[in-house]
A and B are shown apart, each in its own frame.
Chain A
Amino acid sequence: MRFAITMLCFIGIASVIGTILKQNELYENYIIKFGQFWFEFFEVMGLYNVYQAFWFLVILIFLIISTSFCVSRNSPKILKEYKKFQLNAREKSLSSFKHSYEFPVKKFDFVKLEKLLLDNKFRLKRQIKKDGSLILSAKKGDFQKLGYIFTHLAIIIISIGGLMDGNLVLKMQELTGTKQIIYEDLALNDIPETGKLKTSNFSYRAQMLLREGEKQSVAVLKVKEGYLIQDLPFSVGLSDFRIKHYSTGQPKSFESDLIVEDKASGQLVKKTINVNNPLTFNGITIYQSSFEDGGSELALDIWNLHSPEKASKMESVIFKKNELVFNEKKYFFEFNDFRKFNILDIESGNKKTPTNVGPSFIYKVRNESGQAHEYQTYQFPMRIDKSLYFVSGMRKTPQEEYQYLKLPADANGEIEGFMIFRTLLHSPQTLNDAIEKVVAQSFPEGGEKSQIYFEGVKRVMSEFVHGGYSQIASSIDPSISLEDQKRIANSYIKIIFLVGQELIDIYQSNNAEIDNFLFESNYKFVQEALTGFNDSFFYGLPIFLELKEYVHIQSSGLQLTKSPGQFWVYLGCILLVLGIFCMIYIQEVRLWVLKKKDKKNVLVALTTNRHRYEFDQFAVRISQQIRKILN
């Protein structure tokens, strides 16, 4: 028993490790976390998949064996004791019990005594001994001991059930080489026989990713970093996948319309499954477990952030790559995901509430030297600090948080306005006109000073247009005092802002039919547009992709489970609960009444195997009752 408890402790400790160390992650993540040496050490120890590690299974097996020994050794004893009434108890030993009472009786009325004991749920037996003395042995609560058998049997049954559903068989096959894990991405036809598991496979938990409209009859069993192919006795077709939403935009249900067809009999079953409603077919249960994009089609507008061209068009498909030549540089776009719904915490009133901000798409852009940035761009503008912005996040590694480029929406809620503004900044003629207007405000009478001022502003603007505020900052003489630097920088920012306002005013007066800038005041827009323009220099890409249209195609992630051990685990659980009830709430009590032939006194003795507070009270009470009856 000590051995079994040690095993249980080991399982406890191993389990804790399994919760602290994230299981089944990509191996590269572990290498980053622990370094090469510890990574290998932990791998040998099987810590990345503790619960299926070899030593963990061995412990489980040992636990089963040792508990079985325990049960097989003790059960016969317990069953024997159930029948046995200790009628040969001696007076001496009885009177040595803690609860032993001796008192004189007037009339020894067996009928009454037995009735009292039976009423108290005792089972009893009596005997007249050779020396003429009478002994009555009673007991109750034998089920307490059965509780012992139940609980231990339960542990064995549960462990066996668990092992049945574990991957022990697969491990054996892997060790003997009959099955080999596949590590590269292969087409189904190229998979060798050693990488396939037959439909007769005893138990498994496999995955299947189905595109809408697609049909498959194999599933993928992930093992370590690789996989095996599990053949199924039926085919699974997905006619539709839906995500239903609450009015707040949070997902309400994930549903797949499945058509399952048995290969042998041709039996057809149609069912919609969702998270709490799996489909069981021929002993295999199909669960809704995940979803991802199934290759949505996107129509995009390509905006150059740093030169004044109009937008060009691009068509792309999720999981496909596009190549783009831009300003004589090559960019490689990898479109990785499309999300129709995005729930973000958006301010409404004073509180932030989760709101659906509409579709977004996620893509990586690699330049010629292979450097990649990841982007998430939202289709519709969203409200941040009371203004509407087109938002696109950029990050250099997946571990980082996104940094956001926010381009203000114009009076129509479109990106057009910002792009016109960007064009204006790049068009020398309009820029000159605007600068002149700003200069004229400070120097209404003109003159040489105004000419110098004009040249100065022009230089500042040109620097801003080609590199943002930081470019201007680098042009400020670093030898002057910090305060002066700040003062100069502030005045530059103010000038740029004034020029910006003039740019839009000039444009508006020349193009009365354009309604992108019909603001009450363009003050806020200019400020936000300048900030956006400046931030675009840190965007890592001179291109802004605007999503115009999309066709949403999804894939549903299914899990297929064959779990023959489940029945046994549940059976074990029922036994376990029964056993615990017996052990905790049933108290075994033994009681003897002994009357010697030639004595007037009667001896009443009680004992229990587990001494408890209530037992004392019970013992006193019942012995008093006996005394009363016999008097």
Chain B
Amino acid sequence: MVFKQLFNYLFIFLMLMLPTVSLFKFHQYMDIYEMFILIGTGITFIVIGKNWQNFRYLVLIVLILSFFSIFLYEGNLFSGEKQFVLKYFLSSQSAIMWMCSLYPLSLLIYWLYLFKRHSFFGNFASQLTWIATAMGFIGLLVRWFESYLISIDVGHIPISNLYEVFVLFCLVTALLHLYYEEKMNRKELGAFVLIVISVAVGFILWYTFSKGADAIQPLVPALQSYWMKIHVPANFVGYGAFAIAAMISVAYLLVNKGILKSRLPSLIILDDLTYKAIAIGFIFFTIATILGAVWAAEAWGGYWSWDPKETWALIVWLNYAGWLHLRLVKGLRGPMLAWWSVTGLLITTFAFLGVNLFLSGLHSYGEL
């Protein structure tokens, strides 16, 4: 207990100290907004950590291993292919590959748990998801570092193309899932949520091996802004939450039909979880879209240009606004809303991926 208390203080100390040290050391590479974002990130982590102990452990482990990886690189990009630990574990590519293999594995074990109902499987699946998430975050952080190794002016936060944001999507979705799982103290829903993560993993693998998408590319001029550090993550909390809502709705529909009824949580719980996920997603999506508009006003000369991505963001927003409206104001419940939330994921997916695939516009950063 004392140890935990001590750890928590240490965590808060670190979250304040690390950004401060970075500010002193690297302030010449940052503008004022980026400094605020840096400090803000530390504070955000303190707040999340206060409500969620395991998040603190995750942050600390990710930081330690990422720094260890950076240490192993010795400032040379090619160490990633030579040094044993980097090559097989901690280079960004290997870490992301670990993530890609562990998520589908934990999906399998979640299903085992669903059928065998032995708590061992449930805990194991959860732990695997935690490890996969840690590896994914390490992968992104190390990738961030690697981009600077390529060249100082190439370096940028790895949320700039389709490959990177897909990794981010997996991580955010998994984190939200782990949070709800812990608060609910029930692990069955992993069997559903991990499906959508595994599909995303499949996309990442295909994208890596057939298109070589994992190569780090320098930022196009339009993306060189501190706004990217806020706009993109906020958007992906939205996407991730909507994805979770849709998968829980699938569970809802199954239970409603009497399938797996004895093994899954009750309709009331599922319904409430869907609502919570959509609510949090909606707030983040709203903020992300607004921030996107503010950014657009700065980069493209207008806060709203009816660019396909913007327009589809509006459609996604209207869709979930309608969902919330019916539920909150009209008090509607039941399978209709569940179907709606599943459809919502399709619309969201189109906004997220389809627009890049089929429509051209200002947001064409991640083409296939």
A interface residues, Cβ below 8 angstroms from B: 5, 8-9, 11-12, 15-16, 18-20, 22-23, 50-51, 162, 165, 205, 246-248, 250-254, 274-278, 285, 287, 289, 351, 559, 561, 563, 566, 569-570, 573, 576-577, 580-581, 583-585, 610-614
Give the complex CA separation of A611 and B272 in angstroms. Answer: 11
Q: Which of A19, A285, A576, A611 has the most CB of B within 10 A?
A: A19
Residues of B within 8 A of A585 (CB): 279
B interface residues, Cβ below 8 angstroms from A: 151, 153-154, 212, 217-218, 220-222, 224-225, 268-269, 271-272, 275, 279, 282-283, 286-287, 290, 293-294, 297-304, 306, 308, 311-312, 314-315, 318-319, 322, 324-325, 328, 331, 355, 359-361
Residues of A within 8 A of B225 (CB): 276
Give the complex CA separation of A253 and B319 in angstroms. Answer: 37
Residues of A within 8 A of B271 (CB): 613
Give the complex CA separation of A612 and B287 in angstroms. Answer: 25
B44 to chain A, nearest CB (A): 17
With A8-B318, A12-B318, A583-B328 given, is the CB distance from A251 to B301 under 8 Å?
Answer: no
Instruction: Give the nearest-CB partner of B304 in chain A.
Output: A162
> Are A15 and B290 in touch, CB under 8 angstroms?
no
Give the complex CA separation of A559 and B311 in angstroms. Answer: 22
Give the complex CA separation of A205 and B297 in angstroms. Answer: 12
Q: Which of A18, A246, A351, A563 has the most CB of B within 10 A?
A: A246
Residues of B within 8 A of A51 (CB): 306
Residues of A within 8 A of B322 (CB): 5, 8
A236 to chain B, nearest CB (A): 14
Instruction: Give the nearest-CB partner of A574 in chain B.
Output: B290
B286 contact from A15, A16, A576, Cβ within 8 A: A576
Give the complex CA separation of A18 and B359 in angstroms. Answer: 11
Instruction: Give the nearest-CB partner of A1 in chain B.
Output: B329
Residues of B within 8 A of A613 (CB): 268-269, 271-272
B293 contact from A12, A248, A569, A583, Cβ within 8 A: A569
> Are B218 and A250 in touch, CB under 8 angstroms?
yes
With A8-B318, A15-B311, A610-B331 given, is the CB distance from A246 to B301 under 8 Å?
Answer: no
Number of A-B pairs, beta carbon distance below 8 Å: 115
With A5-B322, A19-B311, A613-B272 given, is the CB distance from A205 to B301 under 8 Å?
Answer: yes
Q: List 10 A-B contacts (CB under 8 A).
A: A8-B322, A246-B154, A248-B218, A250-B217, A252-B153, A253-B224, A276-B221, A566-B297, A576-B286, A577-B286
Instruction: Give the nearest-CB partner of B280 in chain A.
Output: A584
B306 contact from A23, A573, A577, Cβ within 8 A: A23
Give the complex CA separation of A584 and B360 in angstroms. Answer: 35
A289 contact from B151, B275, B301, B355, Cβ within 8 A: B301
B218 contact from A18, A162, A252, Cβ within 8 A: A252
Give the complex CA separation of A559 and B302 in angstroms. Answer: 10
B222 contact from A5, A23, A276, A285, Cβ within 8 A: A276
A242 to chain B, nearest CB (A): 12
A70 to chain B, nearest CB (A): 12
A556 to chain B, nearest CB (A): 13
> Are A581 and B222 in touch, CB under 8 angstroms?
no
Residues of B within 8 A of A289 (CB): 300-301
B6 to chain A, nearest CB (A): 31
Give the complex CA separation of A11 and B311 in angstroms. Answer: 10
B218 to chain A, nearest CB (A): 4
Residues of A within 8 A of B151 (CB): 246-247
B219 to chain A, nearest CB (A): 8
With A289-B301, A351-B212, A561-B302 given, is the CB distance from A254 to B221 under 8 Å?
Answer: yes
Residues of A within 8 A of B154 (CB): 246-247
With A19-B355, A584-B279 given, is the CB distance from A573 to B222 under 8 Å?
Answer: no
Instruction: Give the nearest-CB partner of A563 in chain B.
Output: B302
> Are A584 and B221 in touch, CB under 8 angstroms?
no
> Are A580 and B286 in touch, CB under 8 angstroms?
yes
With A12-B318, A561-B301, A611-B331 given, is the CB distance from A251 to B220 under 8 Å?
Answer: yes
> Are A577 and B269 in touch, CB under 8 angstroms?
no
> Are B283 and A577 in touch, CB under 8 angstroms?
yes
With A275-B221, A275-B224 given, is the CB distance from A580 to B282 under 8 Å?
Answer: yes
Give the complex CA separation of A165 and B293 in angstroms. Answer: 14
B214 to chain A, nearest CB (A): 12
Give the complex CA separation of A450 and B311 in angstroms. Answer: 77
A252 contact from B221, B297, B308, Cβ within 8 A: B221
With A250-B218, A275-B222 given, is the CB distance from A287 to B300 under 8 Å?
Answer: yes
> Are B328 and A610 in touch, CB under 8 angstroms?
yes
Residues of B within 8 A of A5 (CB): 322, 325
B336 to chain A, nearest CB (A): 16
> Are B301 and A559 in touch, CB under 8 angstroms?
yes
> Are B359 and A20 in touch, CB under 8 angstroms?
yes
Q: Which of B218, B224, B287 has the most CB of A within 10 A?
A: B218
Residues of B within 8 A of A566 (CB): 297, 303
Residues of A within 8 A of B297 (CB): 563, 566
> Are B218 and A246 in touch, CB under 8 angstroms?
yes
> Are B303 and A569 in touch, CB under 8 angstroms?
yes
With A246-B218, A569-B303 given, is the CB distance from A16 to B293 under 8 Å?
Answer: no
Residues of A within 8 A of B220 (CB): 250-251
Give the complex CA separation of A468 and B283 in angstroms. Answer: 68
Residues of B within 8 A of A253 (CB): 221, 224
Give the complex CA separation of A252 and B293 in angstroms. Answer: 23
Give the complex CA separation of A348 and B139 in angstroms. Answer: 27
B301 contact from A12, A20, A285, Cβ within 8 A: A285
9 closest Cβ contacts across the A-B interface?
Answer: A287-B301, A613-B272, A19-B308, A275-B221, A559-B301, A276-B225, A573-B290, A51-B306, A246-B218
Residues of A within 8 A of B293 (CB): 569, 573
A204 to chain B, nearest CB (A): 11
Residues of B within 8 A of A559 (CB): 301
> Are B300 and A584 in touch, CB under 8 angstroms?
no
> Are B221 and A15 in touch, CB under 8 angstroms?
no
> Are A570 and B294 in touch, CB under 8 angstroms?
yes
Residues of A within 8 A of B299 (CB): 275-276, 287
